[in-house]
Amino acid sequence: MAQFAKTRHRAKLPVKVCQHAIAHLFMTTLATGHIDIPKSWETVTRKIIQEQYRKVLILGASDRGKSVYCNYLANQISMTGSTVAFVDADVGQKDVGLPATISLALIKPEQHLTQAKIKASYFVGAVSPARHFLSMVIGTRKMVDEAQTDFTIIDTTGMVHGSGRALKGFQIESLQPDVIVTLEIDDELDAIVNAFRNFTFLRLKSSRYATKKSSRARKRARENMYKAYFANAHEFTLEISRLQFQRLPLFSGKLYDDPRFVYAEHYPDGTTAVVKDKHSQKYPGIYAIPFGFEHLLLCGLADRQNLCRGLSIVKRIDYQNRTITLLTPVAKRLIKIVQFGDMYVSTEGKEIRHGLMTNRKDMI
């Protein structure tokens, strides 16, 4: 791996580094609450800066201190005068941006991640990567490409075993990071390291001060974010014909008249139908969507570049008048694309249920 690191091309950064900052850089410990920064973290951070590993991927299971290390690394890099971007690809436990999204932020010197300015977001539509590998890989890569900074730090979800190991592999292949930093206990990431040992790895032990969070605490944190986000939302009724719809085969096919259904569209590969019968499986060969499926469905609102401009909660769809009513703080003029999500959130910010109410969840 050492030889690989030497042969990999890394353009020199046009950065004027403050000599005082360099002298001070590795002598200090970042004051992040009451968490001490291990000496090994300082050593690895020094190597990342000296070797100019510009694209840094962070891997680790939940509660290993990834967020703390990302914050430390970003602050230490920014002290050198380099520009730093942080990509938060953890859709369920956000440091930057909203739940169910992958977020890109620009980090200023001595600024905590949670205070960083959001530059762009990508809507995944769920707070777990399960069943959403494609959007996770595409969204992370899109945010990294948008960064355009000297250094980009990419944080990931805590899924590192089973299907999570496969996801991390796809992300490594997609991102082609200059270095991969692992935070682990007892070499628990050996399988990933061995499978991708043609990349440069820097392995760290998890901080013994890393805070453990229960699933209930994570959910409560997300719900507080939703509540604050939708506190100043407005209700808009928009014409379906003026919008684009993605992530679900609806409103992009040819109108299909069938008296059995509330609404139907025909596609080259089949038919989508909105049905009143709760037992939608009774229509073989039909992609059946239950009537009212949209109520309180979380959606992303994107611009023409497919960058997420914010979230919305669907209140209702009027199939007869061809309108959709959304609750969102996003300005009406910015709503161009509606991306259907895979979870339901109340107007008070409570997570109601996960999984879209259709008979083919693999479409998401």
CATH code for the domain defined by 230-363: 2.40.30.330
pLDDT per residue as tens digits for the range 57-66: 999 999 999 9
The confidence band for 358, taking pLDDT boundaries of 50, 70 and 90, is: low
Residue of 270, 289, 217 whose CA lies nearest to 63:
217
pLDDT per residue as tens digits for the range 6-18: 333 444 443 333 3
- 3-class state of residue 238 by DSSP: strand
Is residue 319 predicted with pLDDT exceeding 90? yes
pTM: 0.87
Question: What CA–CA distance (Å, rounded) separates 66 from 41?
Answer: 11
* CATH 3.40.50.300 boundaries in the chain: 2-212
Is residue 5 predicted with pLDDT exceeding 90? no
What pLDDT score does 273 carry?
A: 94
What pLDDT score does 11 carry?
A: 40
* CATH 2.40.30.330 boundaries in the chain: 230-363
Average pLDDT, the chain: 88
Mean pLDDT, residues 63-81:
94
Report yes or no: 81 and 49 within 8 Å, Cβ to Cβ. Answer: no
Question: What CA–CA distance (Å, rounded) separates 244 from 7?
Answer: 46
Question: What CA–CA distance (Å, rounded) separates 124 from 120?
Answer: 13
| Among the four given CATH numbers 1.10.3720.10, 3.30.460.80, 3.40.50.300, 3.40.50.700, the one describing domain 2-212 | 3.40.50.300
The confidence band for 363, taking pLDDT boundaries of 50, 70 and 90, is: very low
The confidence band for 1, taking pLDDT boundaries of 50, 70 and 90, is: very low
Question: What CA–CA distance (Å, rounded) separates 136 from 126?
Answer: 10
- 144: phi > 0 → left, psi -120 to 50 → alpha, else beta; which? alpha
